[in-house]
Chain A
Amino acid sequence: MEQTAVRFEHVSMAFPGVLANDDVSLEIKKGEVFALVGENGAGKSTLMNILYGILTPTDGRVYINGSPVDRFAPRAAIARGVGMVHQHFMLVPSFTVAENIVLSREPRKGRIFFDSAAARRETEALSAEYGLAVDPSAVVGDLSVGLQQRVEILKALHRGAEILILDEPTAVLTPQETEELFAVIRRIVGQRHMTVIIITHKLYEVMAISDRVGVMRKGQLVGVRDTADVDEKLLASMMVGRPMLYDELEKTGTPGKELLRVEDLKVRDSRGLAAVRGVSLSVRAGEVLGIAAVEGNGQSELIEAITGMIRPESGKVFLLDRDVTGQDPGAIRAVGLAHVPEDRLATGVSAQATVADNLLAGRQREKRFTRFGFHRRMSTVERYASQLYERFDIRGAGTQAPAGSMSGGNMQKVVIAREFSFDAPVLIVAQPTRGVDVGAIEFIHSQIIAKRNQGCAILLCSADLDEVFRLSDRIVTLYEGRITGEFSGTFSKDEIGWHMTGGGKREEAG
């Protein structure tokens, strides 16, 4: 007989300006791995935060193991056997593994003292029982992300979790760590008959790990299927609400004159080590030059040197035939360059500022937005921001919400919207879709190609090879700060992969 672990009945959750969950009804069975997928901002995390008691739904009912939840609080949820591993780990970095695991239910000696030896013993016993090896005395801040996640899982198990929620658990993991995590999930479900709910937007992971899958879109649950009955294509189309097949993008026009040229550029990284060791390249109007490289091979420093964020050691950068080497970012932008930086939280947006201010950044001194040079014309700003908001299909709580409150994909759209609206002839685009959902990827790709077709010179840098292949007219591979190959026409994945890892003969690219 099958039992129900969790039942949502007509659950809705309204935040100011946005309906994060819209009449969601869902049953999750005991002992299954249930995947919850959807675009960024579709409401997956909101639904799970309700189950864990962090949020109180504005409407509807939730049942855990058949009995209704009357009070939404983490403590009550934990008592009912719900455990959650958050996307951003809830661990105290300066505490040991054992201290983190027992936090809030510490073993005691003499009623008031914390029994740290017992805490270590409990941790060891738990880690042996579930086959999750950790050192109980290690300080959490020193551990790798994969191990920290293991500590999070053990913490939930220590609290007696039978229903384990994993919020985008693989976003921070290497492929090997992901495999290990999946092995752990299979083990705890198979041997312990636990229920696991995994939030993700990586569709191949859904196929690899889940028994059933629920798809969310714009706060609504649009479908629940047995994983065996679906494929990635079907899930993707359910997520975005239309068939989405990674269509061939239409590229038009022929490359024009050279707009960006880099000559024998050498750059040192923040530790003073040679990161770029003599790179030359050129990008012409109406073409996308892709840089294919494994992370840490100098691509970040190369882009920072071109955009003026760091000073190169030697070499030259020419933008529209003007020497801009070593100038500051503002001056380089003024010549005609826009830049989508690789880390949107660190350099792409100001998380505290509103979406409108972020969209305006770089234009705030323009006449139409100011009066007497200091007074801001709020209505003009608002009109301008709203236009971009609509045009770039940004979804969130409006232009006056802080940018930091948005999901990753929408935050990235804010950066793209701002940079692409400068009408700069040269675009430097780094990791445009990192951590972004499928629908937003499609949109961002089409925007990049539209810019290309309008005659912009685009330098693209991405860790996602499929993305580089799809968008680029030419590709250069970068290995240990040097260009190891240049490719155009039809690309062969094997050959490029070979050059990316230093296997190819060193060649000079034009």
Chain B
Amino acid sequence: MLEDILSGIFSAGTFNQMLRSATPVALAALGGAMTEHAGIMNIGMDGMILMGAFFGVLGSWYFGSAAAGVALVLVMGVIVGLFFALFTVKFRSDEFIIGTALNTFALGLTSFLSRSIFGTAGTKGNPALPTVHLPFLDAIPFLGRVLNDNSLFIYVTWALVLVMWLFVYRTPYGLWLRASGEKPETLRTAGIAPERMKWLASILCGLLCGLAGAHLSLGQLQGTFAEDMANSRGYIAFACVIFSKADPAMAYVAALMFGFFDAIGLRLQDYISSDLTNTIPYVITIVMMVYVVVRSQRKKRHAGKRLPQRQT
């Protein structure tokens, strides 16, 4: 019995499921890393994902092609990002309230549009994103099965992690982005308006969260939209951002961790009540947050010891 469970858990199927579960969270976390570096507390990612999921399906249904769906998602991503920046950067509203408002608005808007366009709360069977088969991976025994035959966006995410990491840590724009969040006046006195970087971060976040939603509806669920299908992934992505200190590579690792436990939960449903296994990702999120608190406390204590630096 136990052996069955263990071999089930550590099978190629589990790790494959890990990638699938992790990808929407990872894409959103990449976006969240941008706003986090720009010093914007973004809890509106859940709404951004939901908008992406809906407009992906809408575009796919209307134009009859998943690519058109993704194109519509990109347009809407920019609009959502601009909307978010308009309130948080331009009008300097409370970020928490704007984020919450965005989540509520997205939930209402997508349900309303879904009912008025499709006549029901959801739709399925629309043109979906392709899965990718890479022949050279067939030769590798275990890993090949994990990495191969996945939805297109899983591979796109890998590329994006690399691009975003290079952007943040290896380009001048990344320096400006980080300065705009940590010490905006420094950037201003250097002759660059920090608001510009904050607008950029918001738009990038809108785009990446949109892609996260598109992957969910057009990739993972093969052209399906269901009410509130973001299902708190935006909040888990936010936890990943905090956990990783907004490092895109580490955020991806955090998302994989989430995906792994989500996959285990799915496996364990054969043995334990699914109500219980569904809590696993959230328990993991809480554990991650406890770790973050402990880490910052330790840092504070450390700093306390170092503080009385007397200069001679």
Q: Is B92 in contact with chain A by the CB < 8 A criterion?
A: no
Indicate if the CB atoms of A92 and B186 lie closer than 8 Å.
yes
Give the CA-CA distance A92 to B187 in the complex, in Å. Answer: 9
State how many angstroms separate the Cβ of A91 from the closest Cβ of chain B.
6
- Given known pairs A78-B191, A92-B179, the reply for A112 and B308 (CB within 8 Å) is no
Indicate if the CB atoms of A90 and B175 lie closer than 8 Å.
no
Q: Is A114 in contact with chain B by the CB < 8 A criterion?
A: yes
Indicate if the CB atoms of A74 and B188 lie closer than 8 Å.
yes
Interface residues of B in 263-312 (CB under 8 A from A): 304-305, 308-312
Partner of B186, one of A91, A270, A271: A91
Q: Is A490 in contact with chain B by the CB < 8 A criterion?
A: no
When distances are taken between beta carbons in the complex, the residues of chain B under 8 Å from A271 are 304-305
Give the CA-CA distance A176 to B172 in the complex, in Å. Answer: 36
Q: Is A84 in contact with chain B by the CB < 8 A criterion?
A: yes
Question: Among A73, A99, A114, which residue has the most Cβ atoms of chain B within 10 A?
Answer: A114
Contact with B along A26-64 (1 / 0, CB 8 A): 000000000000000000000000001010000000000
Contact segment of A102-110, A338-346, A381-389, A467-475: A102-110
The interface size bin for chain A is 20 to 34
When distances are taken between beta carbons in the complex, the residues of chain B under 8 Å from A146 are 311
Contact with B along A76-114 (1 / 0, CB 8 A): 001000001010001111110001100110101000111
Give the CA-CA distance A146 to B187 in the complex, in Å. Answer: 21
Indicate if the CB atoms of A176 and B190 lie closer than 8 Å.
no
State how many angstroms separate the Cβ of B38 from the closest Cβ of chain A.
13
Indicate if the CB atoms of A114 and B174 lie closer than 8 Å.
yes
User: Can you list 7 A-B contacts with CB-CB less than 8 angstroms, sorted by A residue number?
Assistant: A90-B185, A91-B186, A95-B179, A103-B179, A103-B186, A146-B311, A296-B308
Indicate if the CB atoms of A108 and B186 lie closer than 8 Å.
no
Q: Is B170 in contact with chain A by the CB < 8 A criterion?
A: yes
Indicate if the CB atoms of A94 and B186 lie closer than 8 Å.
no
Residues of A within 8 A of B (CB): 52, 54, 73-75, 78, 84, 86, 90-95, 99-100, 103-104, 106, 108, 112-114, 144-146, 174, 176-177, 270-271, 296
- Given known pairs A74-B189, A92-B186, the reply for A108 and B172 (CB within 8 Å) is yes
State how many angstroms separate the Cβ of B7 from the closest Cβ of chain A.
45
**Per DSSP, are chain B's interface residues mostly helix, strand or loop, or mixed?**
helix
State how many angstroms separate the Cβ of B151 from the closest Cβ of chain A.
30
- 6 extra A-B contacts, CB within 8 A, seeds A93-B182, A103-B186, A113-B166: A73-B191, A99-B175, A106-B175, A146-B311, A271-B305, A296-B310
Indicate if the CB atoms of B312 and A90 lie closer than 8 Å.
no
Question: Among B166, B186, B187, which residue has the most Cβ atoms of chain A within 10 A?
Answer: B186
Indicate if the CB atoms of B311 and A104 lie closer than 8 Å.
no
Question: Among B172, B187, B309, B310, which residue has the most Cβ atoms of chain A within 10 A?
Answer: B172
Partner of A103, one of B166, B175, B308, B309: B175
Give the CA-CA distance A78 to B172 in the complex, in Å. Answer: 19
Q: Is B192 in contact with chain A by the CB < 8 A criterion?
A: yes
State how many angstroms separate the Cβ of B248 from the closest Cβ of chain A.
16
Indicate if the CB atoms of B170 and A113 lie closer than 8 Å.
yes
Give the CA-CA distance A84 to B187 in the complex, in Å. Answer: 13
Partner of B178, one of A90, A94, A176: A94
Indicate if the CB atoms of B175 and A144 lie closer than 8 Å.
no
The 9 A-B pairs of least Cβ separation, nearest first, read: A75-B191, A104-B190, A106-B172, A90-B186, A92-B183, A90-B189, A114-B172, A92-B179, A74-B191
